[in-house]
Every structure is written in C-alpha cells, then in structure tokens.
Amino acid sequence: MVAAGAATALAAAAVIAGLGLGRGGSSSSKQQAFRSGPVVLGAAFRGALAQSDPTYRAQLLSHGYGSLTPEYEMQMDGLEPERGIFDFVHADEAVAFARAHGMRVRGHTLVWGKQLPRWVTQPAAKWTRATLLPVLEQWIRTVVAHYRGLVAEWDVVNEPLNDDGTLQPSLWERVIGPDYIRLALETAHAADPAALLYINDYSTEWLDAKSNALFALARRLRRQGVPLGGIGFQVHSNTRTPVIQAQLEANMKRFGALGLRTDVTEMDVDLRSTRGSERSKLRAQARIYAAAAKACASSPTCETFTTWGFTDRYTWLGTAAQPLPFSAGYAPKPAWAAIKSGLDRDRRRNHV
C-alpha cells in the first residue's frame, strides 16, 4: 500500500512497458469518436481468477477479446480502504494481465454511489462540500495518475441518473452538489489528458426520460468545454424489457453527434424472469444480444462491445440468471453466435 501522491510502479511494468497504449487521445476531438476499424469485443474479468484458475484464464484468452475491464479491482472500497492509503496490488495485477496479453484496459469506476469504503460512508465528522471535495479530487488524481498511459479510458462517473432522469442522490451529489460530475471529469483529465473519459449508466438504451436527461447533461458538459469523451451504455437487459435496436441506434447517433464515443460497456441478459423451455429462453437471450451488437456495429461511434463477464459461472447476477454468452461450463450459448454475427456486419464492411 502506498500513501497518496507517492510514485509507484506496476509490478509487471517490465512486461507491459513495450506494449502499445491502444486508443486514447484527447476527449475534446470530435473525430476521435469515430471508429476506424471493426468493433472491439470486450469482457469484464476477475483478475484473481485469471491468475489462479487455468480454465478461466484459457477461456478468457481464447475468444478474441481486445479489451478487458477489471470487474471489481478498481473500485474505491478496495483501492483506498483507509483515507490516503492506496492498495494497488490487485488492480495492478489485473492491468498487467490484460496488457501482457495485448488487450486494452477499461478503468471502472472512479465516482459511484456504491462500493465506498467505510471511512467515506461513516465519517467521524459529517461531510461538507469543503471536506468531501478534496477527498474526491485526491482519489481521482491518485488513481488516474497511477495508471496514466496504461488505462486509456475510464468510467469516471458511474450511474448518476435515476430512471426518471433526475440525479441519483449519491453521497457525492448530496454533499458536493450536481457539479460533482463536471469536477470529477476535469480532475481525471488533469491527471491524464490522453485518457478518454466516460459517463456510464444503465437503462439508457431506450428513447425515454432517462436517456433524454443523459443527453441533455452530455450536451451541456460539452458546451461548457468539460472533457467528456464518451457515453457508456451498460445494457443490463432481460426478456421483459429487451433492447430495441432502433432506439439504441438512435441514442448512439445523437450522442455521437456531440462528438462522443458510444460504447456498450456492461452487457448481460438476465433470464430469471423468462418462462419457457431452456431452448426458447436461450434463443430469446440471443435475440437481445443480437439487437445490441447490430446497433453497435451500425454506429460509427461505438468502438467496443463489452459483456459484464463472459461465463455464467462468474457473474454479479448469480449463475441462475444465466446472463452471459458462455454457460457455467464454458460452452458457447446461442448468444455468443448472435454477438459475433451482429458484429460481423461491421467486419464485413471493413473487409476484416
């Protein structure tokens, strides 16, 4: 563990120093929002399993992923368990694993109302804007600077909106105020001007109050010159409220017109509420994955398509939800073929 601001090096720096940084760049350039090649397939992963479980590791490396997101290792409760004391060991290992295998890393997540350490949620003295804002800024500065040049994109603000489009009353919003979003993005940009910075949220794939509010927020930030570079569409879906391809495409189009990347960042499809035979459930799931993949492939600002894990064996929803493209036994499900087929329309267009 290291004190805030101390210079630290990744344990595997020698392994990864010579690797390319992947796509990054200034968040202010509209042209950088446009994809220059095929959609990059990504997955969230668990670094400890990648190190300790040979089957998990082999499967993770065998499906053509070009981007990995540490599922838990970069959240505040793990990285800063005590104020000003940072433990980068597990996050460093996750980043080193991805980079050593030629994959870009997506940083997740800097500012969220959940996964906060106890010293933040149960302070000795009640937080005020004057006392909490320096905590936020130091946290962001330390983490982003630590991975400068190694993590090319960050989910800076995670899940800031309610379903009706109002701001989530997180600790950051209640104490610092609505401008915590702007301040977080500006602080991250100062720590690594080359990183692409995202607002990441769920239930934004439809044209409704929430996506309208997110669009209004993004437009306002862009007009103010705030270094917002992308919108992460989480797409945690199910068969009751499935993805509507045309609406996701329309959302990607209007956000893309602001000069923003529009990536699918956390997709899964929960089957717990789905009735019918196993075969029919898996087909329904595949159709939802296909709709999202096609929307991404059809949108020139959608560069990465990431599922929140890859095997039903390890998922935040629990194995019974069967939400991912590979079974708990690592067998490919119809969803996997649907994703590949949906993204292949982009690969064919690019002759890859």
352 pLDDT higher than 70 = no
Section 70-79 average pLDDT:
98
**In this prediction, what percent of the chain has a pLDDT beyond 90?**
88
Q: What is the pLDDT of residue 33?
A: 72
pLDDT in tens, 323-346: 999 999 999 999 999 999 999 875
Section 24-47 average pLDDT:
74
Global pTM reads 0.90
From CA 277, how far away is CA 1, in angstroms rounded? 50
Per-residue tokens: 264: 């699918």
Residue for token digits 């409220």? Answer: 241
Alpha helix stretches (DSSP H) within 158-277? 171-175, 180-191, 209-223, 245-256
**In this prediction, what percent of the chain has a pLDDT beyond 70?**
89
Section 240-245 average pLDDT:
97
20 pLDDT higher than 70 = no
Please calculate the CA angle 177-182-187 and round it to the nearest 5 degrees.
110
- Fold of domain 24-349: TIM Barrel (3.20.20)
Mean pLDDT score of the chain: 91
pLDDT in tens, 113-165: 999 999 999 999 999 999 999 999 999 999 999 999 999 999 999 999 999 99
**CA dihedral angle for residue 134, residue 136, residue 137, residue 141, rounded to 10 degrees:** 140
Section 247-271 average pLDDT:
98
For residue 294, CA distances in Å to 20, 215, 241, 290 come to: 29, 22, 18, 6
Q: What is the pLDDT of residue 34?
A: 87
5 pLDDT higher than 60 = no
So which residues are the catalytic ones? 159, 266
Q: What is the pLDDT of residue 115?
A: 97
C-alpha closest to that of 110 among 192, 34, 53? 192
C-alpha closest to that of 199 among 27, 68, 76? 27
248 pLDDT higher than 70 = yes
pLDDT in tens, 191-229: 999 999 999 999 999 999 999 999 999 999 999 999 999
**Contact criterion met (CB below 8 Å) for 332 and 93:** no
From CA 245, how far away is CA 289, in angstroms rounded? 10
Q: What is the pLDDT of residue 351?
A: 42
Q: What is the pLDDT of residue 114?
A: 97
Residue ranges covered by each domain of the chain: 24-349
Section 287-316 average pLDDT:
98
For residue 5, CA distances in Å to 24, 80, 94, 142, 146 come to: 23, 13, 21, 6, 9
Q: What is the pLDDT of residue 23?
A: 33
C-alpha closest to that of 23 among 103, 131, 111, 132? 103
Section 16-38 average pLDDT:
50
